[in-house]
């Protein structure tokens, strides 16, 4: 998608600090971290939000979760614990309209987002 920030990050047109990449997924550090570890995990293919996930394309979610678990191990937060957040649309606070999952950890997280 042309005017999408995360598509631009996927294409390398906007810089990011990558922590994981495969054919279908990119993970990079959140520019405004809410925890010592705050990573965004995105499908390279553009989906506006999780409502676009269907029986046909849901395999990407499985792959994202497996990538998140791998990243959590690499980041050293797998044992103590971590939080995965997906904000879907405006009332949930989604600001970037490209499906993404926040991986948060590295401290005792509160009962809000982090
Ligand atoms: P959300 O509010 O769920 O849509 O999350 C969007 C996230 O993207 C926020 O946590 C922002 O800090 C983060 N963000 C915005 N621009 C960038 C960027 N250029 N690189 C990395 N993270 C970004
Ligand atoms: Zn996009």
Enumerate residues lining ligand 1, CB below 6 A.
Answer: 5, 14, 16, 28, 30-32, 40, 87, 93-96
pTM confidence score: 0.97
Which domains, from first to last, does the chain contain? 5-105 (3.30.428.10)
Q: What is the pLDDT of residues 34-54, one digit of tens each?
A: 999 999 999 999 999 999 999
Q: What is the pLDDT of residues 53-104, one digit of tens each?
A: 999 999 999 999 999 999 999 999 999 999 999 999 999 999 999 999 999 9
**Which one, of 47, 58, 24, 53, lies nearest residue 94 by Cα?**
47
* Cα–Cα distances in angstroms (integers) from residue 67 to residues 39, 72, 78, 79, 92, in the given order: 12, 9, 12, 16, 24
Q: Which atom of ligand 1 is nearest to the CA of 96?
A: 4
Instruction: Give the ligand at the shortest distance from the Cα of 46.
Output: 2
Instruction: In whole angstroms, give the CA distance from residue 104 to residue 34.
Output: 8
Which residues neighbour 4 within 8 Å (Cβ) at sequence distance 6 or greater? 46, 96, 97, 98
Q: What angle do CA 14, 40, 83 make, to 5 degrees?
A: 165
Mutate to test the pocket of ligand 1, among 3, 31, 89 (most ligand atoms within 8 A of CB): 31
């Amino acid at each position: 998608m042309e005017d999408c920030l995360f598509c631009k990050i996927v294409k390398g047109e906007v810089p990011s600090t990558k922590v994981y990449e495969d054919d279908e997924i990119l993970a990079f550090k959140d520019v405004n971290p809410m925890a010592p570890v705050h990573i965004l995990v995105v499908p390279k293919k553009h989906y506006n939000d999780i409502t676009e996930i269907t029986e046909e394309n849901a395999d990407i979610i499985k792959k994202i979760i497996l990538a998140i678990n791998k990243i959590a191990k690499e980041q050293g937060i797998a044992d103590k614990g971590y939080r995965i957040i997906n904000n879907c649309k405006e009332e949930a606070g989604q600001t970037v309209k490209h499906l993404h999952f926040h991986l948060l950890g590295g401290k005792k997280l509160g009962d809000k987002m982090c």
